């Protein structure tokens, strides 16, 4: 059998194993090793160890467990729960105040963890029962939580962006700088939508009850702002500022972030052995999962390349009309569909590297391309009927929140994400302007 046919069978075999319920990491490794042995024999094992060694010794990837630790610790210490109540009180008698608070906290948690599942589950458990008890419409409440959770895909220090920097051979700080304007634009569109909706249909997003607002004096409220909101904001600003400003490498900044998170939680009196053990256990699990997938992806990518799979991808894009822009739109469509079934780690380390040489040859701005990829994956994780964020929230939602409520609730936010994607696609300077102005 020729190598071209084996490469096609690799793709088919991977899909069969995934839909059969085999864990993705095992599917990737098994398909890569089996077809590599069939197609190129033992020679594959002369090359594979060097590729795996390159992954596990990559200094940039050391930032992943540190950022995960920082985010998980802030989540386990329930700082987000306190911050949501504080921001909700700051909104006063304005309809939609609690929903806006969720977006604000989503920005902070996204900047701390970059993990969609962790953010959606944490915010869902903390806020969804409270929103429903305060009269929020189930669709609006669930849609806001899902949208807030997916912000972690693009808000630095997103783990997706860290991996994209490694894959594309770009500076992590440059990609972080490129993500700031699109991510803040998207969050601002969310907030504007909630403000307008609160004015048009206030009964869907009622303000906090007057008695609850009166129970907290202005002095006490601002003291809580200083204690619960300001420290995480300063931590995120310090971490990102040190990376983007070139003061510290991503790994160094991540270590400071982890230490800073411990200091904040300790200052609030919430750092105990139980919280620390849970944080370390979850950090180990998440980091192990990510690294295992990255290692397994090396076997698949190596076999696919040795079998001539890159020629298949190149031929596929040759059929696409519209030149370079048509190829970009085609790639985004493929990634969008794959986002229904695969996690961002597999998409980033298996699918994207196969397509990337086509755009490098066409001299496409890699920074701009990376931002388009993050936005389209973020949209995919939110889109019914397969969006990962929907599954995560449904797993922790009260019984009265129906699947229909989830689907209807996320539709406006999907529209806002597509608007942001279109803006970045049409005006690349939205993503590339800040890095260029900083001399990257």
| Angle at CA of residue 121, ends 404 and 394, nearest 5° | 20
* Backbone φ, ψ for residue 223 (5° rounding): -65, -40
The rounded distance, in Å, linking the Cα atoms of 95 and 198 is 5
The rounded distance, in Å, linking the Cα atoms of 90 and 265 is 23
Residue 50 covered by a domain:
no
Residue 229 covered by a domain:
yes
435 touches 178 (CB < 8 A): yes
Q: What is the pLDDT of residue 107?
A: 76
Lowest-pLDDT choice from 257-266, 310-319, 374-383: 310-319
One-letter-per-residue 3-state SS of 197-236: HHHHCHHHCCCCCHHHHHCCCHHHHHHHHHHHHHHHHHHH
409 touches 139 (CB < 8 A): yes
pLDDT at 163 over 60: yes
The rounded distance, in Å, linking the Cα atoms of 191 and 30 is 45
Its domain, for residue 335, covers 59-437
pLDDT at 112 over 70: no
Written as six digits, the tokens of 217 are: 């004096």
Residue 291 covered by a domain:
yes
The rounded distance, in Å, linking the Cα atoms of 22 and 16 is 9
pLDDT (tens digit, 9 = 90+) per residue, 211-224? 766 677 777 778 87
pLDDT at 127 over 80: no
pLDDT band at 26 (very low <50, low <70, confident <90, very high): confident
Q: What is the pLDDT of residue 118?
A: 61
The rounded distance, in Å, linking the Cα atoms of 387 and 343 is 11
Q: What is the pLDDT of residue 322?
A: 82
CB within 8 Å of 395: residues ≥ 6 apart: 121
pLDDT at 417 over 90: yes
Report percent pLDDT > 90 for the chain.
13
Residue 21 covered by a domain:
no
Q: What is the pLDDT of residue 295?
A: 86
Residue 411 covered by a domain:
yes
The rounded distance, in Å, linking the Cα atoms of 158 and 182 is 13
pLDDT (tens digit, 9 = 90+) per residue, 180-196? 999 999 999 999 999 99
Residue 54 covered by a domain:
no
**Average of per-residue pLDDT values in the chain:** 82
Q: What is the pLDDT of residue 54?
A: 83
pLDDT (tens digit, 9 = 90+) per residue, 311-353? 777 777 888 888 889 999 999 998 888 877 677 777 887 788 8
Report percent pLDDT > 70 for the chain.
94
The rounded distance, in Å, linking the Cα atoms of 147 and 407 is 12
Lowest-pLDDT choice from 44-58, 109-123, 125-139: 109-123
Residue 47 covered by a domain:
no
Residue 419 covered by a domain:
yes
Range 160-172 average pLDDT: 85
Q: How many domains does the chain have?
A: 1
262 touches 70 (CB < 8 A): no
Helix (H, G, I), strand (E, B) or coil at 347: helix
Q: State which of 70-74, 91-95, 371-375, 380-384 shows the largest mean pLDDT.
A: 371-375
pLDDT at 114 over 60: no
């Amino acid at each position: 059998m020729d190598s071209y046919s084996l490469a096609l069978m690799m793709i088919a075999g991977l899909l069969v194993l995934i839909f059969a319920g085999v864990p993705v990491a095992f599917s990737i490794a098994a398909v890569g090793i089996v077809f590599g042995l069939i197609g190129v024999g033992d020679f594959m094992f002369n090359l594979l160890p060097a590729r795996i060694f390159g992954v596990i010794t990559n200094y940039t990837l050391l930032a992943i467990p540190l950022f995960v630790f920082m985010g998980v610790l802030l989540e386990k210490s329930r700082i987000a729960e306190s911050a949501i109540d504080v921001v909700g009180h700051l909104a006063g008698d304005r309809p939609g105040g609690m929903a806006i608070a969720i977006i604000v906290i989503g920005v902070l948690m996204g900047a701390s963890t970059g993990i969609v599942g962790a953010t959606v589950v944490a915010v869902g458990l903390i806020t969804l029962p409270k929103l429903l008890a305060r009269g929020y419409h189930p669709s609006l409440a669930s849609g806001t939580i899902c949208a807030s959770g997916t912000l972690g895909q693009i808000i630095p220090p997103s783990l997706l962006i860290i991996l994209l920097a490694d894959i594309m051979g770009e500076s992590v700080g440059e990609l972080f700088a490129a993500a700031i304007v699109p991510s803040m634009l998207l969050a601002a569109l969310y907030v504007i939508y909630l403000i307008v909706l609160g004015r048009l249909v206030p009964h869907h997003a009622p303000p906090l009850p007057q008695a609850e607002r009166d129970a907290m004096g202005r002095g006490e409220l601002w003291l809580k702002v200083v204690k619960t909101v300001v420290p995480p904001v300063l931590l995120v600003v310090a971490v990102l500022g040190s990376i983007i400003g070139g003061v510290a490498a991503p790994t160094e900044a991540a270590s400071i972030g982890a230490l800073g998170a411990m200091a904040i939680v300790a200052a609030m009196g919430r750092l105990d052995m139980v919280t620390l053990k849970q944080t370390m256990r979850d950090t180990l699990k998440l980091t192990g999962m990510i690294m295992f997938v990255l290692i397994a992806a090396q076997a698949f990518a190596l076999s696919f390349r040795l079998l001539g799979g890159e020629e298949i991808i190149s031929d596929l894009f040759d059929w696409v009309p519209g030149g370079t822009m048509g190829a970009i739109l085609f790639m985004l469509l493929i990634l969008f569909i794959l986002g229904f079934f695969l996690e961002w780690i597999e998409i980033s380390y298996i699918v994207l590297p196969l397509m990337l040489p086509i755009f490098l040859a066409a001299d496409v701005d890699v920074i701009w391309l990376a931002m388009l990829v993050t936005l389209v994956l973020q949209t995919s994780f939110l889109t019914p009927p397969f969006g990962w964020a929907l599954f995560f929230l449904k797993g922790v939602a009260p019984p009265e929140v129906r699947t229909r409520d989830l689907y209807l609730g996320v539709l406006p936010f999907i529209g806002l994400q597509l608007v942001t994607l279109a803006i970045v696609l049409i005006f690349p300077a939205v993503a590339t302007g800040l890095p260029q102005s900083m001399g990257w």
